[in-house]
């Protein structure tokens, strides 16, 4: 199949960028989206042009490294899928595809389609450690945890920190990410001890990094490759209120 690509090209963080048109020829529908870009880059390399820079690592949909906004939707049109697991059969021959980096003040573009997601690491760091000494792997059921809490904590912990929620949000808000991180620890007895201070510190860091606020469009949930539910944002709001009222 043959496609027309419109790709954001930006030499470095401090230089401006623009959308550049490329033709992607003889693409197999069985290729992943990133493999398609590899083919385009090979062509660019042969012509002596600078290849398109994009983030990728595991290419198995679990690392959270790939970060492309495809036709306005982070990670492309499939739900619960990272770009590396998106396949070209999802597109039609002759399609035009717009590829842009995550867009947020807190995620500055480093080059082309690569953004700096250090802001997420800073939020995690602000959350701090849990003081409960967990030691080795505990015996099953030594600490009793309600099934629902265990399931919810696991669902929240599925977050791979890719930043698609921020990219999808009309306000570039990081609420779904922070909510997932806050919730998965707050739901378990070891993490519940510091739940109050953690939620306040992480939200304050989130604001400091320049992310927007939530206006409940729920676009984040639709873009999330791990399909993390917006119910965790409600839970985070509740945790924050609880922690704020206490003192």
Partner 1 sequence: MLAAGFTKSSVGKKLLMAATGLMLFGFVVGHLLGNLQIFLGAKVLNEYAVHLLELGPLLWLMRGGLLTALILHIGLAVNLALENRKARPTGYSFRASVQTTYAARTMMVSGVIILAYVVYHLLHFTFRVTNPEISSLHDAAGHHDVYAMVVLSFKDPVISGVYILAQLLLASHLSHGFGSMFQSLGWICEGNEYCMKKVSLAIGALIGLGYISIPAAVLLNMLTVPGGAG
Binding site residues, partner 1, CB under 8 A? 6, 8, 19, 69, 71-73, 98, 100, 103-106, 168, 170-173, 175, 200, 203-204, 206-207, 210-219, 221-223, 229-231, 233-241, 243-247
Termini Cα distance of the chain: 62
The nearest distance, CB 81 to partner 1, in angstroms, is 13
Specify the residue, 9 or 59, whose C-beta has the smaller distance to partner 1.
9
The nearest distance, CB 96 to partner 1, in angstroms, is 9
Specify the residue, 12 or 204, whose C-beta has the smaller distance to partner 1.
204
Specify the residue, 29 or 170, whose C-beta has the smaller distance to partner 1.
170
Return the closest-CA partner of residue 87 out of 29, 42, 2.
Answer: 29
Tokens of 200: 């306040």
Dihedrals phi, psi of 224, to nearest 5 degrees: -60, 120
Specify the residue, 134 or 244, whose C-beta has the smaller distance to partner 1.
244
Cα 94 to Cα 3: distance, rounded to the nearest angstrom? 5
Specify the residue, 36 or 99, whose C-beta has the smaller distance to partner 1.
99
Specify the residue, 122 or 132, whose C-beta has the smaller distance to partner 1.
122
Cα 212 to Cα 4: distance, rounded to the nearest angstrom? 33
| Gyration radius of the chain's alpha carbons | 20
Element holding 23 (H helix, E strand) = strand 17-24
Cα 237 to Cα 58: distance, rounded to the nearest angstrom? 33
Cα 31 to Cα 88: distance, rounded to the nearest angstrom? 6
Specify the residue, 84 or 178, whose C-beta has the smaller distance to partner 1.
178
The nearest distance, CB 229 to partner 1, in angstroms, is 6
| 212 strand-pairing partners | 173
Question: Residues with Cβ < 8 Å from 182, sequence gap 6 or more?
Answer: 127, 195, 198, 199, 202, 232, 235, 236, 239
The nearest distance, CB 50 to partner 1, in angstroms, is 20
The nearest distance, CB 114 to partner 1, in angstroms, is 15
The nearest distance, CB 54 to partner 1, in angstroms, is 16
The nearest distance, CB 16 to partner 1, in angstroms, is 10
């Amino acid at each position: 199949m043959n496609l027309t690509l419109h790709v954001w090209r930006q030499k470095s963080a401090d230089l401006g960028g623009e959308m550049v048109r490329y033709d992607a020829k003889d693409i197999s529908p069985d290729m992943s989206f990133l493999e398609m870009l590899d083919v385009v880059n090979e062509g660019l390399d042969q012509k002596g042009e600078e290849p398109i820079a994009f983030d990728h690592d595991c290419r198995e949909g679990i690392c959270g490294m790939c970060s492309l906004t495809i036709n306005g939707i982070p990670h492309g049109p499939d739900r619960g899928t990272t770009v590396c697991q998106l396949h070209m059969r999802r597109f039609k021959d002759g399609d035009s595809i717009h590829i842009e980096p995550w867009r947020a003040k807190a995620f500055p573009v480093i080059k082309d389609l690569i953004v700096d997601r250090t802001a997420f690491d800073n939020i995690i760091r602000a959350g701090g450690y849990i003081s409960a000494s967990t030691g080795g792997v505990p015996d099953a059921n030594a600490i009793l945890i309600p099934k629902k809490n265990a399931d919810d904590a696991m669902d929240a912990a599925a977050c791979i920190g890719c930043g698609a929620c921020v990219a999808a949000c009309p306000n570039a808000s990081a609420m779904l990410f922070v909510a997932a991180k806050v919730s998965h620890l707050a739901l378990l007895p070891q993490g519940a001890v510091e739940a109050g201070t953690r939620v306040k510190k992480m939200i304050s860091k989130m604001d400091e990094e320049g992310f927007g606020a939530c206006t409940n469009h729920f676009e984040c949930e639709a873009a999330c490759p791990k399909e993390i539910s917006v119910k965790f944002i409600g839970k985070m709001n509740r945790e924050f209120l609880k922690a704020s009222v206490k003192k």
